[in-house]
Chain A
């Protein structure tokens, strides 16, 4: 029993990290209908920032979060201005962005590979190998910290979207660009801001990921598949949906990984995606595809 509880808690912690990885992706889709296949590359960039800050200056990856967020935010602003702003809101924009973001992902992937080669890396702060014991439950510190930090960031994002004027304006814009303009919202600015926010969130997730998973430039292919399954399952554009999907599937994956075989755990995400597309293509909380 305790064993199962422990697996669930571990799955929960990882699920929160996945949730943070997915929030930026679903936010950007919700507001701009950009299917950002380059999102995991931004996560990787955040991971490399945290990794090098730790290796070169000994900075704790959790403390590196603001720096990774800023670096990814700036990168996001540049990419958005160069690639996405011109045609925002036009017909077939979503379809178009699939190709544009894939191209962006390839360019950034190439750049990262050029600088960092295909070496597997992982940031190893002192707590990377520690563990807590609560009764008989064994909790690796790194997982616990990353889960808690993810949770705080997600809660902060939710509060921002719920209670700040700009946050509500972001939600309003995601409901209708035209209606948002009609109440005087500068939609172009809101879109730019949301894109930057989404990329900054990727950067935050990257810092945490850097000490939870080992990573290398091509890792983003694996992540995009998992993240897309979360975003689709949650209902494209729904942050609550993506977070719920991340937690559910991650817990399920760690149970499957333990009781069937570790190699089966990733299958959970794709199987869930497959099933949801068959029976409820708009996702758990979705409205856009219905």
Chain B
């Protein structure tokens, strides 16, 4: 758990001609680590993930993945290196069926026999999907869509998963299920960088917590320490009412 797999150096990024949203961000992610980024709305949490995934090209700095700079690569090239981005808006293909969604998740796998095996494999992990193979992804329930997203993500056995707000719009029991999947995936050696609005929930499944504000990393600590830090509780976690 000590080898750094992803390292952001001095990353500055913004949208189109707008101002810098990320200002010299440094961040590291280790193998098998779950790191949760928290912070107020508009802090730039989603923007960090987009900058890593290549949806947004950083204006400055570099993103080192196994010591190779990713800045300047197209999103699909970064994805092919083994970094999987699960954006906030789900990113399923709504009017493709489940089977086609899984098929597309393995688009970059040229050995189609291998792809078939891997689809079989993820279907044993997510048996509900097996009954839904010919259903449009967009017509499934929130929980089923969530499972399809994780199923899609693990087909390519990525080294890093970037997950934006996995709990958004889901019922509490399904949020629990999602975090259970995230923890299980990390146990297989995948590193996970997570952004979570529900900071308490996110941190309690993570190893480390990062607090962001105004496009900068305010500090980074053990997830437990962040959870217990009084000042953070006040500022970012919504302090529990004192009796």
Contact = CB atoms under 8 A, between A and B. Distances in A.
Contacts of B150: none
A178 B55 contact: yes
A186 B55 contact: no
B94 A175 contact: yes
What is the interface residue range for chain B against chain A?
Answer: 20 to 34
Nearest to A187: B76
Residue among A181, A185, A287 with the most chain B CB within 10 A? Answer: A181
Nearest to B155: A183
Nearest to B84: A182
Contact of A182 (B85, B96, B100): B85
A178 B85 CA distance: 11
A172 B76 CA distance: 14
B96 A175 contact: yes
Interface string A176-204: 10111111111100000000000000000
A290 interface: no
Interface in A53-74: none
B91 A184 contact: no
A25 B1 CA distance: 53
B75 A172 contact: no
Interface stretch (A130-138, A163-171, A226-234): A163-171
Nearest to A184: B108
Nearest to A186: B76
B80 A172 contact: no
B189 interface: no
A184 B84 CA distance: 9
Contacts of A175: 93-96
B107 A165 contact: yes
Given A176-B91, A176-B93, A178-B91, A183 B55 contact: no
A169 B93 CA distance: 10
Contacts, number: 63
Contact of B104 (A178, A183, A187, A287): A183
B105 interface: yes
A128 B104 CA distance: 45
B91 A182 contact: yes
B183 to A, nearest CB: 23
A178 B53 CA distance: 11
B103 interface: yes
Contact of B92 (A168, A178, A179, A185): A179
Contacts of A183: 79, 104-105, 107-108, 152
Interface string B80-120: 10001101000111111000100111011000100000000
B74 interface: yes
Given A181-B74, A184-B108, A172 B87 contact: no
B208 to A, nearest CB: 25
B176 to A, nearest CB: 26
Contacts of B87: 178, 182
B93 to A, nearest CB: 5
A234 B121 CA distance: 39
A185 B74 contact: no
Contacts of A182: 53, 55, 75-76, 79, 84-85, 87, 91
B75 A181 contact: yes
Contacts of B75: 178, 181-182
Nearest to B152: A183
Contact of B96 (A172, A181, A185): A172
B96 A171 contact: yes
Given A181-B79, A183-B79, A172 B91 contact: no
A178 B93 CA distance: 11
Contacts of B80: 184
A180 B92 CA distance: 9
B105 to A, nearest CB: 5
A176 B87 CA distance: 13
29 contacts: A165-B103, A168-B100, A168-B104, A169-B104, A171-B93, A171-B96, A171-B100, A172-B93, A172-B96, A172-B100, A172-B104, A175-B93, A175-B96, A176-B93, A178-B55, A180-B104, A181-B74, A182-B76, A182-B84, A182-B85, A182-B87, A183-B105, A184-B76, A184-B79, A184-B107, A184-B108, A184-B156, A185-B76, A187-B76
Q: Which 9 A-B pairs have the closest CB atoms?
A: A184-B108, A181-B75, A179-B91, A184-B79, A181-B76, A175-B93, A184-B76, A172-B93, A172-B104
